[in-house]
Amino acid sequence: MPKTSTDSNIRSLPAGESLPPKTAKPVRAKTLKRKDQILEAALRCFTAHGIAATTIDLIRSESGASVGSLYHHFGSKEAIASALYMQGMEDHFLRLRTALNDCHSAEQGVKAIVKTYCEWISENPDWARFIFGSRGEALSEEQEQKLRQDNKAHFTYLQDWFRPYLDAGELKDYPFSIYHSLLVGPAQDYAKHWLSGRQKKPLRDYIELFCEAAWKTLAP
């Protein structure tokens, strides 16, 4: 009985977590390759034609896979989008954590978050455009679940990272649930406008500015 595979090619390992003890399903190299081909093709299609206008058949021909293969690996069109979304988030999260490792003050941390955010978007505009564009919809049960978990884990990681500085009074004491919004909200909004062509100046040009602004908001 063929079963839609769910474990996609995970690139990052959640920092603190240990490997699940599971009854290892065999994962074939060719499978991962095909899945990646499909995801890449899908992103190309989404970028070129927009999410709504991208049909399964387009992804099929672009990826060289067959309909059967597509559905075997992902189960639905939505799931392809989901996977792309999740992959993007993971990629970004990982990068952010890496950046934070080199920071040793509240100010450095705050600025690193904003900077990393902007850089990721600048370097992966297609991916970012897709993620912004598909927000909300397009998440199946399972993936929605996983996204929440990931978000929460990420959130907790950040919280832990900042706690010492907070305790030391190096950071303004807002309710924590709001930190993320204060930090990346402005950059995110500008990014959206830039990605959609409504703003000309590249996001990159304003990185410094958004970093400064964020720090100004959060400095004690």
Which one of its own copies, DNA, none is in contact with 71 (Cβ closer than 5 to 8 A by kind)?
DNA
Q: Scan for tokens 């970012």, then name that residue.
A: 128
Closer by beta carbon to its own copies, 92 or else 192: 192
Q: Which two tokens stand for residue 199?
A: 């703003």
Q: Find out whether 36 and 65 touch, Cβ atoms under 8 Å.
A: no
DSSP one-letter string for 167-196:
HTT-S----GGGHHHHHHHHHHHHHHHHHT
User: Which stretch of DSSP H or E encloses residue 159?
Assistant: helix 141-167
Which one of its own copies, DNA, none is in contact with 206 (Cβ closer than 5 to 8 A by kind)?
its own copies
Q: Find out whether 132 and 85 touch, Cβ atoms under 8 Å.
A: no
User: Among residue numbers 136 through 165, which ones bind its own copies (CB under 8 A)?
Assistant: 136-138, 148, 151
Residues that bind DNA (CB under 7 A): 1-3, 5, 25-26, 28-31, 34, 54-57, 65-69, 71-73, 75-78
Among 33, 163, 201, 204, binds its own copies (CB under 8 A): 201
Q: Find out whether 121 and 199 touch, Cβ atoms under 8 Å.
A: no
Task: Report H helices in 3-105.
Answer: 29-49, 56-63, 67-74, 77-101
Shortest Å, Cβ 119 to its own copies: 17
Specify the 3-state DSSP secondary structure of 199. Answer: coil
Shortest Å, Cβ 23 to its own copies: 32
Closer by beta carbon to its own copies, 103 or else 213: 213
Q: Does 6 participate in binding its own copies (rule CB under 8 A)?
A: no
Shortest Å, Cβ 209 to its own copies: 7
Closer by beta carbon to its own copies, 2 or else 136: 136
Of 42, 39, 62, 38, the closest CA to residue 50 belongs to: 42
Residues at the interface with its own copies (CB under 8 A): 50-52, 78, 129, 132-133, 135-138, 148, 151, 174-175, 177-178, 180-182, 184-190, 192-193, 196, 198-199, 201, 206, 209, 213, 216-217
